[in-house]
Amino acid sequence: MDNTQTGDERSIRSLIPFNHPRRESLLIREKLVKALENNILAPQGLIAHGRGECFDYLLGEKTQEFAEKSINAAAALLLLAKYPVISVNGNMAALTAKDLVDLAEEINCKMEINLFYRDEKRIKAIKEVLEKAGAKEVLGDDDLITIPELFSERRRVSRKGIYIADVILLGLEDGDRTEALVKMDKKVIAIDLNPLSRTSMTASITIVDNITRSIPLLAKRVKELKTKDKREWEKIINNFDNKRNLAEAIKFISQRLENLSADLISRPQ
Model confidence pLDDT, tens digit, residues 78-113: 999 999 999 999 888 988 999 999 999 999 999 999
Question: What does the pLDDT average to over 30-49?
Answer: 75
Confidence of residue 232 (pLDDT cuts 50, 70, 90): very high
Model confidence pLDDT, tens digit, residues 8-38: 555 555 666 666 556 677 677 778 778 777 8
Model confidence pLDDT, tens digit, residues 189-217: 999 999 999 999 999 999 999 999 999 99
Residue 50 reports pLDDT greater than 70 = no
Q: What distance in Å separates the CA atoms of residue 186 and residue 178, rounded to the nearest whole number?
A: 9
Q: What distance in Å separates the CA atoms of residue 148 and residue 180, rounded to the nearest whole number?
A: 7
Mean of pLDDT over the chain? 88
Task: Output the CATH code of domain 65-248.
Answer: 3.40.50.12640
Q: What distance in Å separates the CA atoms of residue 143 and residue 216, rounded to the nearest whole number?
A: 30
What distances in angstroms separate CA 247 from CA 78, 147, 194, 208, 252, one per listed residue?
Answer: 23, 30, 12, 11, 8
